[in-house]
Amino acid sequence: MSFIFSSPKPPPAPDYAGAAREQGAANVETARLEGRMNRPDVVSPYDITTVTDLPNDRFLQTYSLTPEYEAQRQKQVGITDKYLDTAGNYLAGLPQESFSLSGLSAQPGLIDRSGFTAIPTMENINDYTARVEGEFFNRAMARIQPQHQQEVIDLQTRLINAGIPEGSVAYNNAMAELRMTHQDTLRDLAQQSIAEGQKLGDAQLARATDLRSFQTSDALSSVAERERIRDRQLSDYLLGRTQPLSEIATLSGQAPPPPAVATTGLDVPATSIAPPPIFAAAQQQGQFDQGTYRGQVGAYGARMAALGSALS
């Protein structure tokens, strides 16, 4: 009966460190197993994928096409190589010299007026107008002046024959009226001379202006033609330099991309494995032992209380 009154002993402390080491080792091994299970060999009508485990937790995944699809891939690669070889051969035809415009026609400058026919200046035209006016007036005067002189003689004769003496009022009035008529004729002649000179001067100015406009237009046409020729030369020159590059770029762009290899399309489900709960089991065992110990201590206290009551 002595064991009934024996004091219970506490359980040993759980080996949490050891449990943690065992849990870590179990986790590593579980990860390795899960990795191997998730790397299956896959075989399809198009390709084959095999996995080889290597030391130090490494693996080698080998991918290969089935013979018929491998033949297609090689044909596509061959076509690509031919495109690129042709583009490479074109490289020899690229211009080797530095870009230069020295071979083009000279850039047209401003209009060259050195060859223009000289035209009258406004001073020349004004001189010409004055000269025409004077010549017109003088020619007319050469005709009119003798007429005027004869009209004076005729009037004097008529006045004297009419009994009107020279120096009389009537005589002087008649002569004054004749002189006024002659002055009006000269004024009209002067206006006609000015109009004639202005008309011929304006015609001279119009001819000079038309000539200069024609010369300028012709010179502008010549400059424009030289610019057009130079632009065409520049366009041809640039085309000669860029065309090979364009063809090379076209050939390189026409080269098909790496073949799109058919794959199995299988959706292999991933496998997940939980490691054994070693550390959690150690914790639960410790909690269980502690609970058992507390129960034993409680029972021991109750027995000792009952014994005290019996002896009193």
Q: Name the residue with tokens 């489900």.
A: 269
Same domain, 55 and 68: yes
pLDDT at 149 (0 to 100): 92
Contact 92, 225 (CB under 8 A): no
Same domain, 10 and 68: no
Same domain, 284 and 197: no
DSSP state letters, 194-263: HHHHHHHHHHHHHHHHHHHHHHHHHHHHHHHHHHHHHHHHHHHHHHHHHHHHHHHHHHHHHSPPSP----
Strands (E) in the chain, as ranges, are: 42-43, 47-54, 58-65
pLDDT at 147 (0 to 100): 92
Same domain, 31 and 57: no
**Residue 277 within any structural domain of the chain:** yes
Same domain, 32 and 130: no
Same domain, 73 and 220: yes
Same domain, 214 and 168: yes
**Residue 108 within any structural domain of the chain:** no
d(CA 227, CA 106): 9
pLDDT at 5 (0 to 100): 62
Same domain, 8 and 59: no
Residue that terminates a domain, selected from 269, 285, 303: 269
**Structural tokens at position 224:** 């424009």
Question: Residue 20 is part of which domain span?
Answer: 1-36+273-312
Same domain, 212 and 72: yes
Same domain, 95 and 233: yes
pLDDT at 191 (0 to 100): 93
**Residue 61 within any structural domain of the chain:** yes
**Residue 125 within any structural domain of the chain:** yes
**Residue 57 within any structural domain of the chain:** yes
**Residue 203 within any structural domain of the chain:** yes
**Residue 291 within any structural domain of the chain:** yes
| Total structural domains within the chain | 2
Same domain, 56 and 31: no
Q: What is the pLDDT along the chain (312 residues), one digit of tens a residue?
A: 445 667 778 888 788 888 788 888 888 888 888 888 888 888 888 888 888 888 888 888 888 888 888 888 888 888 778 877 877 777 776 766 676 777 777 777 777 777 777 888 888 888 888 888 888 888 988 898 999 999 889 888 888 888 898 889 988 998 899 899 999 988 988 899 898 889 888 888 888 888 888 888 888 888 888 888 888 888 887 777 777 777 777 766 655 555 555 555 455 566 676 777 777 777 888 788 788 878 777 777 777 777 777 776
**Residue 240 within any structural domain of the chain:** yes
Same domain, 171 and 69: yes
pLDDT at 197 (0 to 100): 84
Which residues in 109-144 are b (16+ Cβ under 10 Å) and which e? Answer: eeeeeeeeeebbeeeebeebbeebbeebbeebeeee
d(CA 149, CA 143): 11
